[in-house]
Structure 1
């Protein structure tokens, strides 16, 4: 901390956010300045414990994203009686959540996410007349039911309780709240998906993923005309998607993956849709053909279903597309040549809006601070929350043999295509070399033929290229050595010939597994020397009339013809001797003379 602050005793506003200041938390700063009204020390590296000193004028306190330890005092409501904004997210707090938060009459924003808080949710947080309209307790260890005994809750506009251990059903008391955003994902909630959620007409984003919810998606959800984000993934939902979803013109992001949904999904013919994730379900039919030149779709994830048919040419119109995953289906036919036209306008669409914002940031209050700097300490501007504040708005994509979650600003920089584990055939289009912004391309486990396009050398940003388990032939293009960003490369289990690429740059890092399963491929890192390798053709060769083969064929025919001719001579002699007696007598005479001659010869030798 700057040393001059030790001599300040009249501070009212202190803003040192994101300055990377470390050491123990400066409790002396709060002790020396009892008139503090706003404190913003978020995004630093403070550790140790916080002494909760009595500050009667404190209205905004933000020390999130530090390493503060300890517990919150049970009487925090009396320590900070005028508090409006309290943020201690992403620290190391433990213990129970104080129920005295419910008695703070001016508290409007409470964010304690990313800690280790335990216990139940205090009922007082939703008391009648409360001004608390922003509550984020995500990623703690809270348990129990969510407001189990309340009959109505009308104060919350933004409620984030995701990443805890809450159980039981979704409380119907939430139906009376004017909620903009509701995130209860990754808990242990059970029961059917509530029909009454369709009555919260103000909902902008709804996230219930990672629970044990079951049943159908209620058609009542079609009344949520302002809904932009819908996340029901990783549950036990069944049935089809209600056809009335086509009327939700504001819908921008849909996540329904990892359920047991079925049928077709032509209901999403919405030109304003940005993300559609329907992976790991039982959807059937063909890929919809509703994409056109007006589509703003940036992510289409349909992996792990039962889709059939071919890849429609209409998909080539998705020039804003960043991620395309059609893997693990039964899609057949060739890869369209026009697929190289996607990702041509990758920077023209905002694919995300940030799931967090700073309540102490000056832009939050229109360029003004929360309080007026005079002796009255009266509020000069009210807290207002944006109309579009959603839940997690990322995608999951498999690359480099792992599945990663892309969210926030990084989502704008990830580009990938995965067509693996299908029945695709034909040659790899040269036009795929036009996807110059792509980071991952997976065409493995198909029936692709032909050669590897040398145009792949244009993919200067690619980090993962997998075209293994196909029927590719020919040599590996030497132009691939230009791909200096490659981290994962595999052409294994094809019918490639010739030498492996020279082991320079990134290609010096690839081991034998990148090339195995190609019987004729030789060179390091394979254990097949190109000087000893014998090329085995993969097709039926034309007749080869070389000298060695010709000699082998002549000898075979000679033996056959000799045996046939010998048999014919023997038969002819026997027939002649039987027919002509005089020739038969002459034949026997010569045989007898030959026998006596041999007898005399052997007798003379023995004597």
Structure 2
């Protein structure tokens, strides 16, 4: 440090040198003390924050001892001033070997605003932090740049004073319980890059002041309860790249001015109550960088505008579950980068345009639940198509179109309720099928044995057809099968092959089995005998199954729903069924079960639905929950049963 001064006399010079020396020594001591002690306001703010937290599973706050707060875990300080600049206590902590999820339970102390030099607050994903954002936050934290509070239980409004934080770049308040209207002062945040307010309970209209955020990069308000109209001026956000207002109660029409956001890449307005027609784009050249457009789950009407074909960069288009009608415009075939197209749940009609054959990058196409009458064979040129969903359209194919055999990448086919007839075509055995849904058609013949060669098959749904014969032995080779639905056919014989499948791999892969409404007569003794421990849903009702329910059924510990009703099963109810403590639904009515209801069934604490009616059960119903919570109808038709909720047992 250099000092320039003029001495009036020698005594004056000596005195001035003493003052300068003392100042330099003091500055040195100040720098030396930085990190060794804490500014009183910072210390009070941090101690108050710690006092508000009752539980910290990470143990970080336990190590906040002494006065050297700049050495505390999660705290960063300015090397010059010694003031705290960052409070970094996220729920996810990276270690050398893994990422740990930690939690904090308690309330956010309003005295956090004593940390007046804070630039970053990260209390994200701690799960159980409650309280409010301090109303005075805008007056005391002028240097705050990033505010991360996502995935907690914070509530209350965003304070109006937040608009005074002129340096704010990112606000992430996702998945909390914030409420109230969005403050007008948000428009004052000229440096805001990201605004994520999703999964809260915000209400009211989106404030017009947001048009002032001319360098806003992300606007995310989804999962809220906003209502009212979106301001037309939102289109003035000229540097906006992502607009996400999904999962709200927004109403009214989509502002036409959205087309003026020339830099926008993602727009998500889904899951609202928006109405009217799709207003953009109006001409070529608008929204040249738009890659993602999601307008699904609204009340949009009218036709799909042909002008959507001008969105040359579009990769994903979601328009499902609206009230759109009329034909699909052929101009969509101009979207050469399109990967995903979802148009299901509308009133679209006519034929699929031949121009769709030009969508060479298309991976997923969902046209289900419309009024579409046909598809051109030119669609066989879609070499990258993996998922084709055509369910519940009046296609009335005589059989599955042969041109599907030319789709090399097809792995998921959903053609439920399309009027298919005849047998399941053999060409499917040459495809890497993972999910096949041909339910609710008019298919005949037997289940082909070649299905056992589909080594990647996870879902097989052939329900509601007219299939006959037995389940082929080859089905035991489907090691990856997780969902098997064959209900409402004319199948006969044994179900034993289904339960042999789990014996191949430990734990098995089957999760869902529905063989109900057929004519199966045997194989019940195999339930639980193999390694099908992962079964969660099992429905064998409305068959002709006979015999004893095996004790091995108690090994299905993950099962939540068991329906064996309307069969010819007999003998005593197995005590082991009480081991299936995850069971929520148990239907055994209209069989020939005898003996008493086992006391062990009192262990079925999660049971919400029970029907043991119309059997040959006797004795007292075990006294206690959950069995005595069910109505009389759950036990009716058993002449020798007694006890609550039926008549008392006779002495």
Q: TM-score scaled to structure 2, two decimals? A: 0.66
**C-alpha separation in 2, matches of 1:71 and 1:183:** 26
1:162 pairs, out of 320, 326, 329, with 320
The residue correspondences of 1:367-378 to structure 2 (distance < 5 A) are: none
- For the residue of structure 2 that corresponds to 1:315, the secondary structure is helix
- 2:518 corresponds to which residue? 422
Distance 1:58 1:18, change over 3 A: closer
**C-alpha separation in 2, matches of 1:91 and 1:155:** 27
**C-alpha separation in 1, matches of 2:137 and 2:506:** 47
The residue correspondences of 1:165-564 to structure 2 (distance < 5 A) are: 165-178=323-336, 179-215=338-374, 217-239=375-397, 240-265=399-424, 266-269=426-429, 272-292=432-452, 295-337=455-497, 339-342=499-502, 415-433=511-529, 434-502=531-599, 504-505=601-602, 514-519=611-616, 524=621, 525-526=635-636, 527-529=638-640
Any conservation in 2 of the 1:335–1:429 contact (CA below 8 Å)? Answer: no
Greater Cα shift, 121-130 or 182-191: 121-130
**C-alpha separation in 2, matches of 1:529 and 1:511:** 24
Structure 1 residue 102 and structure 2 residue 259: aligned?
yes
- 1:577 corresponds to which residue? none
- For the residue of structure 2 that corresponds to 1:332, the secondary structure is strand
Distance 1:11 1:271, change over 3 A: farther
- 1:115 corresponds to which residue? 272
Greater Cα shift, 44-53 or 221-230: 44-53
Structure 1 residue 58 and structure 2 residue 216: aligned?
yes
**C-alpha separation in 2, matches of 1:152 and 1:346:** 53
**C-alpha separation in 1, matches of 2:518 and 2:465:** 11
Q: How many residue pairs were aligned?
A: 465
Q: Where does the alignment leave 5 or more consecutive residues of structure 2 unmatched?
A: 1-131, 143-164, 622-634, 643-651
Structure 1 residue 6 and structure 2 residue 138: aligned?
yes
Any conservation in 2 of the 1:251–1:272 contact (CA below 8 Å)? Answer: yes
Distance 1:153 1:492, change over 3 A: same
Any conservation in 2 of the 1:322–1:346 contact (CA below 8 Å)? Answer: no
**C-alpha separation in 2, matches of 1:59 and 1:263:** 54
The residue correspondences of 1:117-132 to structure 2 (distance < 5 A) are: 117-124=274-281, 127-131=284-288, 132=290
Distance 1:10 1:149, change over 3 A: closer
**C-alpha separation in 1, matches of 2:641 and 2:242:** 71
Distance 1:307 1:337, change over 3 A: closer
Distance 1:73 1:204, change over 3 A: same
Distance 1:20 1:347, change over 3 A: farther
**C-alpha separation in 2, matches of 1:347 and 1:13:** 49
**C-alpha separation in 2, matches of 1:111 and 1:521:** 60
**C-alpha separation in 1, matches of 2:265 and 2:523:** 61
Deviation at 1:235, TM superposition (A): 1.4
**C-alpha separation in 1, matches of 2:400 and 2:484:** 21
**C-alpha separation in 2, matches of 1:494 and 1:43:** 48
Deviation at 1:475, TM superposition (A): 2.2
Deviation at 1:28, TM superposition (A): 5.2
- For the residue of structure 2 that corresponds to 1:279, the secondary structure is coil
Any conservation in 2 of the 1:337–1:429 contact (CA below 8 Å)? Answer: no
Structure 1 residue 37 and structure 2 residue 133: aligned?
no
Deviation at 1:278, TM superposition (A): 1.3
Structure with larger Rg: 1
**C-alpha separation in 2, matches of 1:248 and 1:150:** 26
Deviation at 1:324, TM superposition (A): 0.8
**C-alpha separation in 2, matches of 1:49 and 1:484:** 47
The residue correspondences of 1:550-589 to structure 2 (distance < 5 A) are: none
Deviation at 1:188, TM superposition (A): 0.9
**C-alpha separation in 2, matches of 1:328 and 1:142:** 37
Distance 1:348 1:147, change over 3 A: farther
Deviation at 1:254, TM superposition (A): 1.8
- For the residue of structure 1 that corresponds to 2:417, the secondary structure is coil
Distance 1:277 1:60, change over 3 A: same
**C-alpha separation in 1, matches of 2:309 and 2:610:** 62
Q: TM-score scaled to structure 1, two decimals? A: 0.70
**C-alpha separation in 1, matches of 2:174 and 2:387:** 30
Q: Where does the alignment leave 5 or more consecutive residues of structure 1 unmatched?
A: 350-413, 532-607
Over the aligned positions, Cα root-mean-square deviation in angstroms equals 2.9
Deviation at 1:294, TM superposition (A): 6.5
1:531-571 per-position Cα deviation (integer Å, ceiling 9, x unaligned): 9xxxxxxxxxxxxxxxxxxxxxxxxxxxxxxxxxxxxxxxx
Deviation at 1:428, TM superposition (A): 1.3
Any conservation in 2 of the 1:246–1:269 contact (CA below 8 Å)? Answer: no
Any conservation in 2 of the 1:101–1:125 contact (CA below 8 Å)? Answer: no
Distance 1:232 1:504, change over 3 A: same
Greater Cα shift, 11-20 or 149-158: 149-158
Any conservation in 2 of the 1:24–1:48 contact (CA below 8 Å)? Answer: yes
Any conservation in 2 of the 1:236–1:260 contact (CA below 8 Å)? Answer: yes
Which structure is richer in relative contact order (CA contacts within 8 A, separation 6 or more)? 1
Distance 1:435 1:322, change over 3 A: same
**C-alpha separation in 2, matches of 1:59 and 1:348:** 47
- For the residue of structure 2 that corresponds to 1:145, the secondary structure is coil
- For the residue of structure 2 that corresponds to 1:505, the secondary structure is helix
Any conservation in 2 of the 1:98–1:122 contact (CA below 8 Å)? Answer: yes
- For the residue of structure 1 that corresponds to 2:215, the secondary structure is coil
Any conservation in 1 of the 2:335–2:359 contact (CA below 8 Å)? Answer: yes
Deviation at 1:23, TM superposition (A): 2.9
